[in-house]
A = this chain, B = another copy of it.
Amino acid sequence: MRVQVQSRLAYNFAEPTETIAVVLAAHASGQTIESEKLAYSNGVRLSESVDPVSGGRLLRGRLDGPFWIEYSAIVRLAPRLELPAALQVAPWSQLPVGVLPYLLPSRYCPVDQFLRFAQRQFGHIAPGGARVLAILDWLHENLDYCHGVSTGTTSASETFIDRAGVCRDFTHLGITLCRAAGVPARAVSAYALHLDPPDFHAVFEVFLDGGWWLVDPTRLAPIGGMVRIAHGRDAADIAFLTTAGPVRQTDMRVTVTEIAPPSLVKPSYNTDTVEEAA
């Protein structure tokens, strides 16, 4: 599948503020960036570097006053499989060392508070894919998707009580329950095809049978149409904008559209050419 991604963010900084923007599609297995274009406010200088842990392509700078940034890309996505129930969790001693942090509590995923609930609710289900699928079903049955009930400081504890939230909240509670149930899980930011209304999306991945598997706990967008931006322990690691101080957002637009593959587009030009030649 090929998708075209477009995003535009605009902010107003009241004073010079250290800032990191992470909006570029990641160079990751399963997705190929065919072309991309980045533009931002005149006079600003952002430095780009890749975070080897998050996979994110960081744009860093000290921003002041009004600022806008626009990104567009055409990305070819390899097909993604739905999570098979039969996948297994490896013993901790056989997990890659880099996977271990995704078993631990993090800012918005207080795993340490959920051990008893996870054991009670999911402990009887075979550890692995089946258990993760049970967690996803539980989220679907027990959470309402709605705006306005959570904020940027809402953690999985609050969502667990409040039983409602947005993609960020579903993802935090999903990650928390997976980790508490023994499955490594990490947050992923993505551009998502068919997400309505379009927005930056937060989903998560679980580590089973030696690989990371992507799932969308909100069930709002197909996993096959997601363009990965970055991953991390939770929203703190994958925010599309991190600033050292307060800032006011003045615009945010995201568009993700499926586009025909080059091989299918080409013939129509050929036909045109033939007609012209006639």
Contacts and interface: CB of A to CB of B under 8 A. Distances in A.
Give the most central of A62, A105, A113, A158: most B CB within 10 Å.
Answer: A105
Given A60-B93, A163-B120, A101 B245 contact: no
Nearest to A155: B110
Interface string A121-154: 0000000000000000000001010000000110
Interface string A239-269: 0001011100000000000000000000000
B92 A60 contact: yes
Contact of A117 (B53, B113, B161, B182): B161
Interface residues of A, number: 55
Contacts of A197: none
Interface in A163-195: 163-164, 182
A20 to B, nearest CB: 6
Nearest to A59: B93
A18 B104 contact: no
A211 interface: no
A100 B20 contact: yes
A136 B275 CA distance: 76
Interface stretch (A43-51, A77-85, A199-207): A43-51
8 contacts: A18-B92, A62-B93, A92-B244, A104-B242, A114-B161, A116-B162, A117-B162, A160-B161
